């Protein structure tokens, strides 16, 4: 027997086991709760089901994207912290969310960035998308908002990564949410031979994809760390000894697989001419760079990216913003 208000076969069921009009019940519950302001108990009485069923109906409505709850981003863009951050780092706009529970602060930042991103896009834009857990989670949280004539471009070649965090997944998922054309970069991120890398870049189909990377007018990315448990280490883009040596030499952050120092200056590696993807020079030249700074451990990398001029817009939490303002550019 199914529990009261549970889910059977992926669809909510009420306490009495009835189910022939569950879709209508889900929509009705959502309408009553979000538009008419009824309480869950009042909705339960109206529908003739248990309160637990109503809770499940509302959860299912949100899971199906029938309902999406978001806060006005202007509230967070107009805060004192946001204004001070813009002034300190010469940013066009900053969105700063309250830290709240430290364990959930990163999730707040990513959700805020996902809600804000459609507002920053216009018809005809070419949006370059980076990789990693932050960007993957952003793509997954983005609202389903069709943006006319939008092209989403994968900024880096492919590389084995944690499930879902690969570059092609990030770009494809975001393109699907925005009903956009997706241009994937169908090559490995790192090759073993520089001559092979050069020949592959010269292949007409790859050269066309790389031109799309270069022509993006907007990019969304995160600044990663150089720690031993960083994304760049887990993907094997750099071995532990090399990474440790680069940290000793001053590397503090990673942008699209490339290292930067505390001033945001590139720190080229010997594998630089074996990498296929956006360059730091191209990233710095983009008219709009949207930096998602989620997680206190990324503060130093975020500061370096801001000093280096890679971002015009930043989304972060209050604790990171305060640390960035303690020692601005």
* pLDDT tens by residue, the chain, 329 residues: 233 333 333 444 444 444 557 888 999 998 898 888 899 999 999 998 999 999 999 989 888 878 776 666 776 787 889 999 999 999 999 999 998 787 788 999 999 999 999 999 999 999 999 999 999 999 999 999 999 999 999 999 988 765 557 889 999 999 999 999 999 999 999 999 999 999 999 999 999 999 999 999 999 999 999 888 887 887 778 888 888 999 999 999 999 999 999 999 999 888 889 999 999 999 999 999 999 999 999 999 999 999 999 999 999 999 999 999 987 65
- CB–CB of 261/267 below 8 Å? yes
Instruction: Give the architecture-level CATH label for domain 73-326.
Output: 3-Layer(aba) Sandwich (3.40)
Q: Cα–Cα distances in Å, from 303 out to 108, 224, 228, 298, 308? A: 20, 11, 20, 9, 8
- Residue boundaries of the structural domains of the chain: 7-63, 73-326
Beta strand segments in the chain, E: 7-8, 11-12, 93-97, 126-129, 151-154, 181-183, 218-221, 251-255, 258-261, 288-292, 313-317
Distance in angstroms between the alpha carbons of the first and the last residue of the chain: 62
- DSSP bridge pairs for 218: 127, 288
- Which of 279, 280, 278, 284 has its CA nearest to residue 312? 284
The reported pTM is 0.81
Rounded distance between C-alpha atoms, residue 178 and residue 294, angstroms: 22
- CB–CB of 250/262 below 8 Å? yes
Q: What are 112's two structure tokens?
A: 């805020």
- Which of 134, 118, 181, 133 has its CA nearest to residue 153? 181
Identify the residue whose tokens are 């949100």.
62
- DSSP bridge pairs for 96: 316
Q: What are 21's two structure tokens?
A: 């009009």
CATH of domain 7-63: 1.10.10.10
């Amino acid at each position: 027997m199914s529990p009261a208000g549970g889910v059977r076969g992926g669809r909510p069921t009420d306490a009495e086991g009835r189910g022939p009009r569950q879709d209508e019940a889900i929509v009705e519950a959502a309408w009553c709760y979000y538009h008419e302001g009824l309480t869950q108990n009042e909705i339960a009485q109206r529908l003739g089901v248990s309160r637990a069923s109503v809770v499940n109906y509302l959860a299912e409505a949100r899971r199906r994207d029938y309902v999406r709850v978001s806060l006005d981003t202007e509230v967070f863009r107009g805060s004192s912290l946001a204004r001070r951050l813009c002034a300190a780092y010469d940013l066009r706009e900053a969105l700063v969310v309250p830290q709240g529970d430290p364990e959930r602060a990163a999730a707040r930042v990513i959700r805020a960035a996902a809600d804000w991103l459609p507002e920053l896009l216009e018809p005809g834009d070419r949006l370059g998308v980076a990789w990693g857990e932050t960007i993957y989670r952003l793509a997954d949280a983005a609202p389903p908002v069709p943006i006319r004539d939008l092209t989403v471009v994968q900024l880096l070649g492919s590389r084995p990564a944690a499930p879902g965090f690969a570059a092609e997944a990030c770009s494809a998922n975001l393109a699907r949410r925005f009903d956009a054309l997706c241009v994937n970069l169908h090559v490995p991120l790192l090759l073993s031979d520089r001559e092979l890398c050069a020949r592959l870049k010269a292949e007409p189909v790859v050269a066309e994809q790389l031109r799309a990377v270069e022509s993006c007018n907007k990019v969304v990315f995160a600044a990663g760390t150089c720690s031993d448990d960083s994304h760049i280490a887990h993907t094997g883009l750099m071995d532990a000894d090399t990474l440790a040596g680069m940290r000793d030499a001053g590397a503090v952050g990673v942008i699209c697989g490339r290292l930067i120092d505390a001033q945001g200056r590139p720190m080229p590696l010997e594998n630089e001419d074996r990498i296929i993807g956006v360059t730091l020079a191209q990233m710095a030249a983009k008219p709009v760079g949207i930096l998602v700074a989620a997680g206190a451990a990324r503060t130093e990398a975020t500061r370096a990216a801001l000093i280096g001029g890679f971002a015009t817009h930043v989304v972060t939490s209050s604790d990171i913003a305060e640390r960035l303002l303690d020692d601005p550019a």
